[in-house]
Each structure stands twice: as C-alpha cells, then as structure tokens.
Amino acid sequence: MTILKANFKYNVSWLIIMVAGFYLMNTLMLMGIIDSFIENMLVVIGINIILATGLNLVIGFAGQFSLGHAGFMAIGAYATAIITTNSATAGGFYTSIVVGVIIAIIAAIIVGVPTLRLRGDYLAIATMGAAEIIRIIINNLQITNGPSGMFNIPQFATWPVVYIMVCVTTILIANFVRSRAGRAIKSVREDEIAAESAGINTTNWKLAAFVFGAATAAIAGSLDASYLQTIAPTNFGIMESISILIIVVLGGVGSLTGSVVAAVVLGILDTALQNFGTLRMVIYAAALILIMIFKPTGLLGSHELSFKHLFSGTKRKGRVRS
Amino acid sequence: MLSVDQLVVNYGVINAVKGVSFDINEGEIVSLIGANGAGKTTILKTVSGLLRPASGTVTYEGHEIQREKAPKIVAQGISQVPEGRHIFAGLTVKENLQMGAFLQSDRANIATTFQTVYDRFPVLKERQNQDAATLSGGEQQMLAMGRALMSRPKLLLLDEPSMGLAPIFINEIFDIITAIKEQGTTVLLIEQNAKKALSISDRGYVLASGEVKMSGTGSELLANADVQKAYLGG
Amino acid sequence: MEASTLQTFFQQLINGLSLGSIYALLALGYTMVYGIIKLINFAHGDIYMLGAFWGYYVINFWHFNFLFALLSAMLVGAVAGVIIEYFAYRPLRHAPRITALITAIGVSFLLENGMSYLYGSTPRDFPQIIEPVNYHVFGVLISNIQILILVTACLLMVILQVIIKKTKMGKAMRAVSVDPDAAELVGINLNRTISFTFALGSSMAGAAGVLIGLYYNSIDPLMGMTPGIKAFVAAVVGGIGSVPGASIGGFLIGLLETLVQSVGLSAYKDAAVYFVLIVILLVLPAGIFGKNIKEKV
C-alpha cells in the first residue's frame, strides 16, 4: 500500500488515462465503430496483456526464465470454469477468480521453491515440465471433465470487466516493479551473487516475483474461460507458454510498456492474418528468430513509457535510469 | 621475427593495452614483466589471434597477422602455453599431446615430435594414458608446454609458466625454457616472477597499466634500481 | 504364479529397452550439443520429426528399403542440424544464453508449424516396410521390430562412441567441449568442430525418427515435442555432456515410462518423466556420469 502512495502522482495520472480510455472505447462501441469482431480482438489483447506483463515480471525483472506460465493460467481457467458452472452468479465468478489465484499461488510456491535455484536453461525446462505436470493432472481429473474440456461456461468476463482487470493488474505490477521489492528483484537479475552479498534474500524475492506472475496468469486464465466459454487442457500446453513468451520478447524483456505494445500489435496482426492459419505461426516463429539475432532487446528494449520523465522535467538530466 | 607496433586492445570496456610496441628477434628469449593487470595476457591473446586489437599491428615474418584467426596463426608456427595450463581434462596425456599436433599431417613427423617431447618431459611418457586432470600442477604445466611444442612452433608464447608451482618445479621449468630456446625455438615469456624470467632472457620489456615503461637486455633490467624496487623485491 | 510375474518383468524390460534405445539416440544429440556450446537445442526433437517424415516419403514414394531410409534420414538430419546451427545459433555464439535459448525455441516452433502448414497436422501412418513377426521366448513376446530397433540403436551408439574416442574430429569435439580457447590455441577450428557435432547428433535424431516410425507406425508434425523433452531429461539423468550417460539415461527413461504404463498409470507416463527431471535437477544435478561444476565467485 505504501508503494501505491509513494507513486501516487503517477498512479493517478495513469488511472486518469485508463478511465479516459474506457470511456473512449465505450463510446466507440455505442457508435458501432467497434463491432463485436473488434471487441473480441480487444478482449483477447487484454488477456494477453495480463499474461505478458506477468511473465515479463518473472523473466524480465526477476531474470527467471520460466516457461510454465500456461500451467498457472490453466489453474485460473479451470477454477472459474468449475465454480461458475456450479454457481452461475457474478459472486461466483469473482470468488472463482480468488480461488484460482490462491491455488495458483500455492502451486507456484510448490513449483518455485525447488526449481528457482536452477540456472537459466535448466529452469526453463523444469518450469516447462512443471506446467505440463499441471496440465496432465487436469487432463485426468473427473472434475475437470478430462481431455474433452469444459464448455458452456457462463460468461461474466465482458469487455469492461477484462478492461478493468487489465488496468488493475498492470498498475499492481508497475508499482511492484518500482517499489523496494522491485528494486530488490532487479538487483537479483543483474547479479545474483552481488545481491546476496548485499544481504538481499534472493530466494525469497525470486519466489515473490514468480508467485506474483503466477497469480496474474491465473486471473488471465479465469477471464479467458469466462469470455471464450470453452476450455480444454490442450489450450494450456507448451505452445501457449511459448506464445506468451513471444509477446514478451517482441516487446522487450524488461519493459512493461513493451509487453503492452507487443500484445496490441500481435493481437491486431493475429486478427488480420486470421485466414492464414498455421502460416501465421510460421511467420511469428521466423520473426522470433530474426529478432533474437538482430534486435534481441525487442521493440522497446528495457525502456518504459513513463510519467516520471514528464514530471521530473529538467531534473531528469542528473537522474540515473532505474 | 615478431613485431608489435602501437597495439591497442580493449577488453570489454576496459582499455587494457594502450599502444604497446616491442620486437622479438629469431632465437631470442624475450620477457614481458609487470604486475597483474598490466595487459600482458591481453597482448599474448592478441598475438595468438584470440583477441582482435582496436588498432595497431602484429607483424610476423613479414606480414600482418592481427586480423587472422587463431587456428591460422597456429598453422604459421606460433604456439601458446596459456596462463593456468588449460590442459584438456577428460582426455589422456597422450590425447592432449595429439591435440597439440592437430594441424600436423605427417605421421612420421608427429611420431618424432612425440619422441622429442617425451625425452624432454619423461613424466609425460610415464603417465601417457592417464586422464590429464589427474596430474599434479607441475606435471600439467609440462603437459601444456609439451602440447604447445607438438606443433613444432617457431615462436613459443608462454603465459605465466611458473604460476602456482612449487619452487622445485619452477627451476625445472625455467631450465626447460632455456633448453627449448637453445634448440632453436624463439620464446616470448610473460612472467610475474620477474627475477627468474629476466635471468634467462636475452631482452625484456617492463609493462605497467597497458604501456611499455622500460626495455633493455635481461641483465640490464635485472641491475636496474627501479626494476629491482618494483618487481624484484630489492 | 512366479513364472508369470517374471515373464511380465521381462516383457516390460524388452518394451522399455526398445523405447529407451530411441530416447538414447535422441539424448546423445542433446548431450553432445550441450557439451560443446552449452545450449539446449530445443529443435532437436523436431529434427527427429523431420527424419520420420523423410522416412515416410522415401519409403512411400521412392520405395526405399529400411536401410536406405535409415541412412538417408541420418543424412537429412545431419544436414538439417548443420543448417540450423549455421543460421540460428552461430550468430548468437557470444550472446547471453537466454537469447540463444529463445532462438532455439523459435527454431523448434518454426519447424513444427512449418511442417503443420505444409503437410497438415493430422497423423499419418508410417509405412510398414517390415512385416512384424512376433517371437515367443520363454513366454515373453518380442517382435522383430523391437529387435531391429535395439540392434540398430546399439550399433549406432557404438559407432558414435568410436568416432568420439578414436577419431581426430571426435577428440577435437571433446577438446572444444572442455576448453574452447585452449582448443583454438592448438589450431582447432571451432566452427567446423561445432558443425561436425551438430551433424553427428542430428544424424542420430534422424535415425531415431525412422525407428520410431517403424515402432509406433504413426507420425505427425508435433511428434518431436514430447519425446524431445523426455530425451533431454534422459541426457540430464545420465549427466549432461556425457555420451555414455546419455545412452544409459535414455534406457532408464524408457524403462520408467514403460513401468508407469504397466502399473496402469498410462495417463501420467509423461508427467512421471517430468517429475523425474525436477527431482534429478534438485538431488543430483550432475546426473549419473556428470561432473559437478560449481559456479565460482
């Protein structure tokens, strides 16, 4: 909470922009400029923003190469699917989000404690394996309807709900990153050994980022289930984790703005290229390789669009970029 | 034989070598002495082709080699015994030596060279089928030198051969270096043990902070008061 | 009663070893590449898939026999591996490992989706060029295909081991894996050696693809993903970077998977392997034959 107060000015400014954006989109929809087709695209973009910013927190800011994001998304999705199918009320929906987040946090701790001490490439495979274990378990439970998945999930995630969730999660993540906790996490990414010697409990902070990321993934999953109304275990496999990774990498690992921009760009591209089918994925894969070879820092590198710079004005010259 | 002119090398963002020039004539032992971080290893790595200079030239037997890749430089007769031995753990002593002869194609020649190296370092012959990692520090140093000699180099670069060795071994190593020179191989020697190095060298250069501060014959430098104070503990 | 449990045991042993020998071939490629450039080649499983598809085509349309299908698939695998290394990994040789890893994922993604796009994602039947014949030995069922797979895989492993231990290139590979700088100082060409490593490892993957096509009779563009991860687990279990380790690891994972299936937990057979991975990385990260390299401050 103190973090939120400290960044009060920026939070308020962003809040104003977000509210303005909401009204803008609402108006456009009422005017019929944004039809249901585009609305669909916006919702998907919104969910991807939540996923990408959450993953960016883990990979970009904490420097932990996790490829298991889809597993936590699945937890949120199924929590919502199961609970709202049995209790088709708004209360049930929001409860399911909370339940999903809680289960995801527990799962993240169980997965994170043993695996976060692993090095880069091993951590990637281990988290991938962990997500697959989650998916396989879901695939074999009665309550989740197994491999056939669940459908006719009541829809509570209308676009205003998604929009608000996107804003909330983004503000929370942005504040987390700018806080003392965020700095600790960044120091772990920069040089873990140095951070240890400075007395920072690296294990705890890495876990904190990982858990936070998992929680946001669960929220995204809940929204996904409630909007699309159909889910199946195959939606949450390795391909899905890689797709989110592509968004993060494209936008710039370490830049939240980048993740948002990339999610928007890819969302529009996805819709535009819809008829290309699998060729779309081929293009993305090729793009990923080319970006890694020629501009590994992605679209925005680790820059952020920030009111800090606007507000500090002339003071900026002496400031060190964090 | 080797001529380094105004060499500038950057190690990452650090300007390690700031315009160094020196020469080596055929048949000599030349030493580069100086404290840690003076840029000596960087120079050697550049000569061997592991690093590229920002500017300056390295001329070997008449043509410039500073842009050439390491294997090509080895093929021309320059061989390095790197700092810290760097023997191939997991390979046997014999295999390590075989690797040294990687670019040699004449079987008979290689066999003769093996003989020469085994004669010079009998302990290597004893342990030829042992994993190189199981050798003692001194033995590994001999293996590293033997490996470098397998390519029949005209110019041998030695980076801190005495580092981490017991005193008995140090003397032995320096005797061997002298013997190598006497058999016709030119030697460029980097050493922190300045006394020992200068005592077997024909000429030497004193490096500090990436620059040549002083040069002269081995005996001149040994007798020099400043050198004695700074590097010879005198 | 005693006889039949023993029979079941041997039955599962045969099944597990057959499957395991294919994992072993795949694991070898992973371990060799990781050993030399410290990269998990995510695309390795997809080269296995390419080998299977190649086998499918040359047998169906050019009427190759088993031997030619196998050998040509190995060649195709080798070429694919070398091309991938040259274009996608070599430019990133000095980049941070995460970048290279992401690129490897990209290559894998590209191959999987590329093949899906070109050939559709529905599974195809691998041609049955060898008529399956079942032998009954002491009440245990062994098919000729299992024997063929075991023999072929073991033969390839032996040949690989000979190449690595006895040939100049093989020793160069080991030298570069241990110390690339020192290797350059003796005149070894890093690029050529690394390409050679990829060629060798990928040819094993190509062979594995044909063998699995024969065994399970079904191929699809995504077939390389899960076996690829399992083979990586096998390499880790055996000790990443160790060739004998990869072979042993492969057999162990094959046996584990068969064991899990035989106790009725088929649905969890993949999960069991992933679980083993996490446990091994925590308990014995260096694997069975690996060397524990601590990060020095």
Sign of CA dihedral A110, A116, A119, A124: positive
The CB density around residue C264, as the number of other CB atoms within 10 Å, is: 8
Strand partners, B205: B32, B215
Is residue B88 in a domain? no
Strand partners, C143: C134
CA dihedral A161, A166, A167, A169 (to 10 degrees): 120
- Between CA C238 and CA C31 the distance in angstroms is 9
- Name which of B69, B90, B99 is nearest C186 (Cβ-Cβ): B99
- Between CA C34 and CA C233 the distance in angstroms is 13
- Between CA A24 and CA A20 the distance in angstroms is 6
Q: How far is CA C67 from CA C119, C200, C211, in A?
A: 25, 18, 11
Note whether C29 and C202 are within 8 A (CB).
Answer: yes
Note whether A244 and A55 are within 8 A (CB).
Answer: yes
The backbone torsions φ and ψ at residue A48, rounded to the nearest 5 degrees and listed phi first, read: -65, -30
Structure tokens at C38: 């410290």
- Name which of C178, C181, C187 is nearest B71 (Cβ-Cβ): C187
Which of A116-120, C155-159, C289-293 bottoms out in mean pLDDT, i.e. has the lowest? C289-293
What is the per-residue DSSP string for B159-173? E-TTTT--HHHHHHH
User: Model confidence at C141, in pLDDT bands (50, 70, 90)?
Assistant: confident
Contacts of residue A168, defined as CB under 8 A and 6 or more positions apart, other chains included, come to none
- Between CA A62 and CA A25 the distance in angstroms is 34
Average pLDDT, chain B: 88
* Domain enclosing residue B192, as ranges: 2-83+154-231
Decide if C184 and B49 are in contact by the 8 Å CB cutoff.
yes
Closest CA to C230 of C245, C251, C211: C251
Decide if C179 and B86 are in contact by the 8 Å CB cutoff.
yes
pLDDT at B99: 92
Q: Which helix (H) or strand (E) holds A96?
A: helix A90-115
Q: Compute the average pLDDT of residues B146-156.
A: 92
Structure tokens at A289: 């390789």
CB-count burial class (<10 Å; 0-12, 13-18, 19+) for A168 = middle
The CB density around residue C292, as the number of other CB atoms within 10 Å, is: 9
The backbone torsions φ and ψ at residue A66, rounded to the nearest 5 degrees and listed phi first, read: -100, 130
Is residue B74 in a domain? yes
Structure tokens at C263: 């106790």
The CB density around residue B175, as the number of other CB atoms within 10 Å, is: 11
Is residue A310 in a domain? no
Is residue A8 in a domain? yes
Decide if C182 and B87 are in contact by the 8 Å CB cutoff.
yes
Is residue A292 in a domain? no
Decide if C109 and A279 are in contact by the 8 Å CB cutoff.
no
User: Model confidence at A92, in pLDDT bands (50, 70, 90)?
Assistant: confident
| pLDDT > 60? residue A311 | no
Is residue B53 in a domain? yes
- Bridge pairing between strands B186-191 and B29-33: parallel
- Name which of A121, A245, A286 is nearest C110 (Cβ-Cβ): A286
* B98 touching C (Cβ < 8 Å): yes
Which residues does chain C have within 8 Å of residue B86's beta carbon, measured at their own beta carbons?
179, 181-182, 185
Is residue B22 in a domain? yes
User: Model confidence at A317, in pLDDT bands (50, 70, 90)?
Assistant: very low
Note whether C241 and C35 are within 8 A (CB).
Answer: yes
Chain B residue whose CA is closest to C191 = B71
pLDDT at A114: 85
- Between CA C219 and CA C122 the distance in angstroms is 9
Is residue B128 in a domain? no
| pLDDT > 60? residue A307 | no
The backbone torsions φ and ψ at residue B197, rounded to the nearest 5 degrees and listed phi first, read: -60, -50
pLDDT at A256: 85
Is residue B18 in a domain? yes
Query: How is chain C split into domains, by residue range?
Result: 13-132+140-283
* B84 touching C (Cβ < 8 Å): no
Domains held by chain B: number:
1
Greater confidence (A190 vs C256) lies with: C256
Domains held by chain A: number:
1
What is the CATH number assigned to the segment(s) C13-132+140-283? Answer: 1.10.3470
The backbone torsions φ and ψ at residue C169, rounded to the nearest 5 degrees and listed phi first, read: -60, -40
Chain A meets chain B (3+ C-beta pairs below 8 A): no
Decide if C271 and A118 are in contact by the 8 Å CB cutoff.
no
pLDDT tens readout for residues A131-180: 999 999 999 888 888 888 888 888 887 888 888 888 888 888 888 887 77
* Domain enclosing residue A123, as ranges: 2-235
- Between CA A303 and CA A283 the distance in angstroms is 26
Q: Which residue has the tokens 């936590």?
A: A72
- Between CA C193 and CA C172 the distance in angstroms is 7
